[in-house]
Every structure is written in structure tokens, then in C-alpha cells.
Amino acid sequence: MSLLFSRTTLGPLALQNRLVMAPLTRSRAIGNVPNDLMTQYYAQHATAGLIVTEGTSPSPNGLGYARVPGIYSAEQVAGWKRVTAAVRPLGAKFFMQFMHCGRIGHPLNLPQGARILAPSAIAAAGEMYTDASGMQPNATPEAMTEADIKSTIEEFAQAATNAIAAGFDGVELHGANGYLLEQFFRPTSNQRTDRYGGSVENRARFVLEVARAVIEAIGKDKVGIRLSPFGVFNDMPPYAAMEAEYTGLAAELDAAGLVYIHLVDHSSMGAPAVPDSMKAAIRRVFKRTLILSGGYDAARAESDLEAGKCDLIAVGRPFLANPDLVARWKAGAALNAPDMSTFYTPGPKGYTDYPTMAA
Ligand SMILES: Cc1cc2nc3c(=O)[nH]c(=O)nc-3n(C[C@H](O)[C@H](O)[C@H](O)COP(=O)(O)O)c2cc1C
């Protein structure tokens, strides 16, 4: 009997299995609006128990990358409605990931009038691809004023209302991988001297205020969060107090009532491993659903579920390259290899043309 392929629940939702399609930015949203190609892509993956969309911006300010979708305009809501309508009858439950990129971005990827915002005016090391001028250094962000913080939180809450109106079952706050929420939480990117910076309580404030505002808008059973303790992506160096601070944050998120924490371990992508002690500590303090992700194959997914380390397993690259991953893993079949060269390129190649087993 496989646990991975057995039914379970996420808050009040029934899931057809415990496999989650991890959030995957694919940069096919021309004009930042979801389209028919994206509808086809998500429908192809709808045998998952839960799909988490690619990072989707709650604000024009949060777009960061080229061709990522948003959820702040009526056109975007209408586009996402078509996506959820295609996925729903196929069985997967569907959460939208809210990715506000903050300082990871370039003005050339943003609509006119949008601003690159972050807790402090500190540019992240590294470069950003732009369609207009190729690779560019990450922009130096504007330090957010209290008014910017307030309006950004309001954007998250409105985006949550929009996501539910578009037919999603819930939203996942992207608190991982060096984007805005993590920029507030980590001491290197947050050098503020007001009540949003300094102590860990202050650095957690923005994350918790966003979470509470989104819960207020759509209800706690519909809100999860992704976290990446020990993650170094996007110029986020490790620091001594990290394990204790993230465990404290998980306890606060438990008190706020979120339905899940989705923990990222990017050691399969070259980052330091998240120690088992950290995963176990979060499991202890966070009472609702725990999703683990990063480098999973079917055997490890099954053994971590059996050991009670988590409730659901999220899979990125193998799922990206195998829309019928559930059937392949059930059958013990070979997998297509992901083609990195088409991860972020426009069009169907490397997106909707991976063959299924029967093909
Ligand atoms: C092409 C690509 C795009 C990604 N985009 C996102 C994203 O939008 N949001 C996010 O939280 N993680 C993103 N990730 C990270 C994945 O969700 C996942 O954590 C990572 O691929 C490790 O899991 P895997 O070993 O199963 O692939 C992305 C990864 C890849 C390869």
C-alpha cells in the first residue's frame, strides 16, 4: 500500500493523493496574463493531489522576472479563471503561489510606473534576465516606507480575494528563496531601524502581517506559506541564529492558523542541506500540514511519509518533465529528463510537449 498515492486532506479539502506539484516559474505569461498554453500545461499536471502555481505577483511592483503572471488585474483574474476551470474537473486541488520579488528584479521586466521595493535599499548580488536587454544586474531597490508596507499588505489581501474569485482553493505565500517576505525576515537584506527591522520579532512582523491580512481576506484554511531556512538562493547568506529564528517563525505561523508550511530543501540544487533537526523542530511546533520538497524520488517520498516526517511531498523538476508523473511512479516507469534550456523560454517547447508514457 502506497501512502504517496493514497487520499488525504488539506484542511477541509480532500486530496486525491499526497503528491504536490511544486511552484515552478515558467515565464510563458506574455504580458503577465495567463493564457491558453498555460491552461493546457496545468491541465496536463492535474493528476497531482495539489498543484501550486508558478510564482504569481500580487502587485505590478512584485513581478521581478520577465513574463511571470500577476493576479492584480481583471484581465489576469479572467485568464486564471480559465486555468482553474480546466484543472478542477480533473481532480487536483489548486493553490496559487504569491511571489512578490521585491529586490530580485529589474525595471525592464516591470510595467511602467511600477517600483522595485525592498525592506532596505540594498541590491542583491546577481543578475536578472530581461527580454529587452539580456542580463542586467539586479536593481537597487527603494527602501519601503511605512506607507509602502501598508499598501503592499493591502495588495496581498486583494490578490487573495482575486485568487479565490478566479477559482483557486487557496494561496501559498512565497516566504522562501530570497523574495520579498524572506528579504524582510533575513538580517542581511533587512537593515531597517524601525519596527520592521532589527530584532527577530521586528523582522518577522511583515511576514506575519501579510499572513494575517490574507487570512482575514479569505480564511485560514486557504492560506499556506513556503519557507527556505538554510536557503542561499538570491544572495541570502546563512547566519548563526537561523535555525532558532525559523522555528520561532513556524510557531507564530501555527498560532496565526495557516493551513500549511511548505519547506524547501535545495541541497539537490547545491544549497546547504536543511538539517533533519530543523525539519523535525518545525514539524513539532507547526500542528497543521507540513509539505517537504527538494530532490524527491518516489522511494524517498514514500519513506519520509511513512516515517511521519511530513504529510505531503512536493516535486518540481521531475513533474515539470513528466506531466504523468503519478502514473509513471505508480508503474515504476522511466522518466523524461528535464530540459533546462527551455525552463523559462516562451512557447510550447519544453513546456507542454513532454511525452506521456502512452505517447
Ligand atoms: C524552472 C524552475 C522554476 C522554479 N520556480 C519556482 C517558483 O516560482 N516558486 C518557488 O517557490 N520555487 C520555484 N522553484 C523551486 C521548485 O519549486 C523546487 O523547490 C525545486 O525545483 C526543488 O525541487 P525538485 O528537486 O523536486 O525539482 C523553481 C524551480 C525550477 C527548476
Ligand 1 center–CA 122 separation, angstroms: 25
| Cα 45 to averaged position of ligand 1 atoms, centre (Å) | 15
Which residue numbers are catalytic? 179
Ligand 1 mean position, distance from CA 24 (Å): 5
The pLDDT value given to residue 154: 98
Asked whether 86 lines ligand 1 (CB < 6 A), one says no
Which residue do the cell numbers 488585474 mark? 73
* Percent residues over pLDDT 90 in the chain: 98
CA-344 nearest atom, ligand 1: 1
The whole-number average pLDDT for the span 73-87 is 98
Three-state DSSP string of 297-313 = CHHHHHHHHHCCCCCEE
Distance from residue 80's CA to the centre of ligand 1 (Å): 20
64 lines ligand 1 (CB under 6 A): no
Is 228 a pocket residue for ligand 1 (Cβ < 6 Å)? no
Q: Whose CA is nearest to atom 11 of ligand 1?
A: 23
- Model confidence pLDDT, tens digit, residues 88-140: 999 999 999 999 999 999 999 999 999 999 999 999 999 999 999 999 999 99
Express each pLDDT in 209-247 by its tens digit: 999 999 999 999 999 999 999 999 999 999 999 999 999
Euclidean distance between CA atoms 131 and 193, whole angstroms: 37
Q: Is the predicted pLDDT of residue 167 greater than 80, yes or no?
A: yes
Judge if the beta carbon of residue 294 lies within 6 A of ligand 1. Answer: yes
Ligand 1 binding pocket mutation candidate from 171, 317, 342 (most atoms within 8 A of CB): 317
Judge if the beta carbon of residue 55 lies within 6 A of ligand 1: yes
Q: Which residue blocks in the chain are alpha helix, DSSP H?
A: 36-44, 74-87, 146-165, 180-185, 200-218, 242-256, 276-285, 298-306, 317-321, 325-331
Average pLDDT over residues 31-48: 98
pLDDT of res. 358? 72
Which three cell numbers, joined as nine digits, stand for 269? 540544487
Residues 6+ apart with CB under 8 A from 161: 217, 218
Question: What's the CA-to-centroid distance between 281 and ligand 1, angstroms?
Answer: 23
pLDDT tens digits for 247-299?
999 999 999 999 999 999 999 988 899 999 999 999 999 999 999 999 999 99
Mean pLDDT of 327-342: 97
pLDDT at 54 over 90: yes
Residue 96 half-sphere exposure, CB side, CA atoms within 13 Å?
Answer: 32
Residue with cell 519601503: 144
The per-residue pLDDT of the chain, averaged, comes to: 97
22 lines ligand 1 (CB under 6 A): yes
User: What pLDDT is recorded for position 57?
Assistant: 98
Give the model's confidence band at 339: pLDDT under 50 very low, under 70 low, under 90 confident, else very high.
very high
Ligand 1 touching residue 178 (CB < 6 A): no
Q: In whole angstroms, how far apart are CA 283 and each of 13, 193, 279, 288, 312?
A: 21, 32, 6, 9, 12
- pLDDT higher than threshold 80 for residue 359: no
Number of the ligand 1 atom closest to the C-alpha atom of 54: 8
- Segment 182-206 mean pLDDT: 98
What DSSP line would sit under 9-76, residue for residue?
EETTEEESSSEEEPP------GGG---HHHHHHHHHTTTSSEEEPSPBBSSGGG--STT--BSSSHHH
